Structure 1
Amino acid sequence: MTFRSMQTMMWTGLIAAIFTAPAIAQSPSAYVPPKTAFGHPDLQGVWTNQSITGLTRPPGVTSLVVSDAEAAKIVANDFWIRAGEGQSEPAPTDKPPEEGDARFGDQGYNSFWLDPGQSLARVRGELRTSWITYPKSGQIPLSAEARRQIGAYQARRAGTSYMEGGNFSDPEELPISERCLIGFSGTGGPVMLNPIYNSNYQIVQTPGHVMIMAEMVHDARIIPINGHHRPDIMKPWLGDSIGWYEGDTLVVETRNLHPEQAVSGPIFLSSEGKVTERFTRTSETEIVHEFRVEDPLFYTETWGGEIAFKTKDGPIFEYACHEGNYSVPGILAGSRVFENKIRANGSAPAR
């Protein structure tokens, strides 16, 4: 399964985050996190958010928190669990593949490559059906303007040349995530989400910075502590983040996402928006990663939630997937054949 299909498919109230309304007060925890040598709460180590819990709530599920029995039913119907079971046989290597359409490449991964986890996430001891805790629907409250911009981006990146450009037109147009240069599906943040494999993270702290490295494509967020946002004209990949400590919590505020990331999601953000994240170690084995997304242009209301990070034995190994990949000529040639067939059928204009 290609990066493109993963991104597309992955798009498809008892508690809320500790920010402002809509929030529900929570009893204070007796746990006192350890401190670094320079006095900051110690978040360092290797962590994972591996789980079949996703950003949004599954169709037909209305409750944020469920019982063990209800969770088992959700797991049994989870797309990635079923996809892994349905693609357990290895792909044939002794003959060419059968002819397919433009989405043939989406079948490139079998269950060997899928590692989404086998259960819903437990956050603060509760089985959660979505990372989003508000709004109560568990869905992203996109505005009409956001849908328009996202739709235009998707049409542009998924097209072929007869559709006025697209990823298969020229080698320069192949997406950088497909070349394993950047992460995808929100793994690098802001809001550090779980993909269907490589759900591990490493946190390193110094007196003046925090570094959070994602296993997926080794994206690294390097966050200055008590710094200042850069000029708005600077829109780096993963956004412009600054951090500070509030007691035992690391707070990170991010603005100005790179234009491509801003509409590729799953956390969409216009130039008017910001994401606030809070990282709190709630036990020896858990960090609760709270998030709040504010953007009057892209969303009809403020929304947010919580993600659980659990301790994980390290180390994280190098992510390397593009070495020896000489398939670009074949990808482009296949697209030209596909276009010629469509032109021959009279269903698309010549370029």
Structure 2
Amino acid sequence: MLRGSTSAAAALAVMLAGPASGQAPPAAPRALARNFDGVWTNATVTQLERSAAYSQLVVPNARAEQVDKATTARRDAANGRSDLSQGAFKDENATAGYNSFWIDAGEGLMRVRGEARSSFITSPADGRMPFRDRARSLALTIRDGAEYRSGKGAYAGPEDLPIRERCLIAQSDAGGPVMLNAIYNNNYSFFVTPGYFVIDLEMNHDVRIAPIFASAKEARASHAPAVIRPWLGDTVAWWEGDTLVAETKNVNPIQEGRTLTPVSSQGTVTERFTRIARDELLYQFTVEDPVHYTQAWSGEYSFKPAKGQIYEYACHEGNYAMEGILRGARMAEEADKGGQ
């Protein structure tokens, strides 16, 4: 968690920077330019990296409409009424954690200024993360995923459980850096005050609080010592025109090893937030880290207004699981003593 206050902000009347494309909705009113207040969502079937199904960043309108219709059709079919005359239902998906009721994939592909996108990543041009060694950087994340799906893992102790099981931070990397979408709970509440930028996530109730400084120089000089590596990193912020820039360093080392976007102690993530329309908050990011990547890489997507509010994410499964695991270990130890 970062430093600062969570008080809400009054709207600041300033000019919105940056022209919109011809397909974009009308620009945000002047009074909204530096006002990000409200509940936003990044729910979409578009992912961070580009899949092999797409050859370019911008998806042609005809194909994008097909994807959107297919997304809606799958959701409606899955959420349709069951035919109770068929009798008792069989559980034919016993390995899945959730049925479709809980899934929130949005309305289809992500759109930025009206353009449908095949990935969040815009650079490199192939839409892929430029890992030095993908398998090595994501080794723990891949292992955690396999163990989570199978329910089997060679855990040496409670600290070896994935962060999702320990209810520490959002397992979907929703809190960043970089902030990603998940299968559900894709809602964010933003607040901007004269002194702080606050991001309240529905996913695992994480909160990022970044102090806002008068300049980039002053902000960068205010980073905590490198030995302090909090969850979600150490973030400072400043305004560049009507774009709020946030710079994050010193991500927690446990998070570095168990995330889809690993950032080492030598890495820096720069995030940019710009209100480009009344119903569109542009989010841009650049990751620089010579430990994990061969080059800097960047991307963008747009937050859209959410239809609801932020609800409590009570991560009790992991809390009870931890107690059960420890109690079971103690019982096993007592049983071993009795057999001696």
Q: Gaps spanning 5+ residues in structure 2: where?
A: 1-16, 21-25, 83-87, 214-218, 330-340
Name structure 1 gaps, 5 residues minimum.
1-25, 99-103, 336-351
Once the two structures are aligned, what percentage of the paired residues are identical?
A: 46
Match of 2:36? Answer: 43
Residue 307 in 1 paired to residue 301 in 2?
yes
Aligned to 1:338: none
Cα shift readout 1:119-150 (whole Å, capped 9, x = no counterpart): 10110110111111111111111112x53243
Equivalent AA in structure 2 for residue 256 of structure 1: N
Deviation, 1:34, is: 4.1
Match of residue 167, structure 2, among 180, 183, 195: 180
CA 1:153 to 1:320, structure 2 compared with 1: closer, same or farther past 3 Å? closer
Where do 1:140-159 residues align within 5 Å?
140-144=129-133, 147-151=135-139, 154-155=142-143
Matched, 1:118 2:111: no
Q: Any conservation in 1 of the 2:266–2:289 contact (CA below 8 Å)?
A: yes
What SS does structure 2 have at the residue aligned with 1:217?
helix
How far does the alpha carbon of each residue in 1:5-34 deviate from its partner, in whole angstroms, 9 at most, with x for none? xxxxxxxxxxxxxxxxxxxxx972483554
Pick one of 53, 57, 61 that aligns with 2:50. 57
Does residue 251 of structure 1 match 2:251? no
* TM-aligned CA distance change 1:85 to 1:258, over 3 Å: farther
Q: CA deviation at 1:176?
A: 3.2
**How many residues in Structure 1 have an aligned counterpart in Structure 2?**
292
Q: Give the superposition deviation at 1:69.
A: 2.2
Q: Over aligned residues, Cα RMSD in angstroms?
A: 3.7
Secondary structure at the aligned position of 1:225 is classed as strand
Tell me if the contact between 1:280 and 1:288 (Cα under 8 Å) persists in the aligned partners: yes
Match of 2:291 among 265, 288, 297: 297
> Whole-Å Cα distance in 2 between the matches of residues 63 and 265 of structure 1?
26
Give the letter for the 1:41 counterpart: R
Q: 1:150 to 1:292 in 2, by over 3 A?
A: same
Q: Residue 195 of structure 2 corresponds to which residue in structure 1? A: 208
Q: Tell me by how many angstroms 1:262 deviates.
A: 1.2
Measured at CA, do residues 318 and 245 of structure 1 come closer, stay the same or move farther in structure 2, by a change above 3 Å?
Answer: same
Give, in whole Å, the separation in 1 of the partners of 2:89 and 2:325. Answer: 19
Aligned-residue offset at 1:96 = 12
1:151 and 1:300 mapped to 2: Cα distance? 18
Q: Distance in 2 between matches of 1:324 and 1:260?
A: 17
TM-score, length of structure 2 as denominator length: 0.74
Please report the TM-score for the alignment, with normalisation by the length of structure 1: 0.71
> Counterpart of 2:120 in structure 1: which amino acid?
W
Give how far 1:116 is off. 1.2
Query: Contact between 1:84 and 1:114, CA under 8 Å: does it hold in 2?
Result: no
1:46–1:315 CA contact under 8 A, matched in 2: yes
Amino acid at match of 1:151: A
Kept in 1, the 8 Å contact 2:137–2:262? The answer is: no
Structure 1 partner of 2:118? 129
Tell me the CA shift for residue 334 of structure 1. 11
Q: Deviations over 1:92-118 (max 9, x none)?
A: xx99989xxxxx974221111111123
Paired with 1:274 and 1:242, the residues of 2 have a C-alpha distance of 12
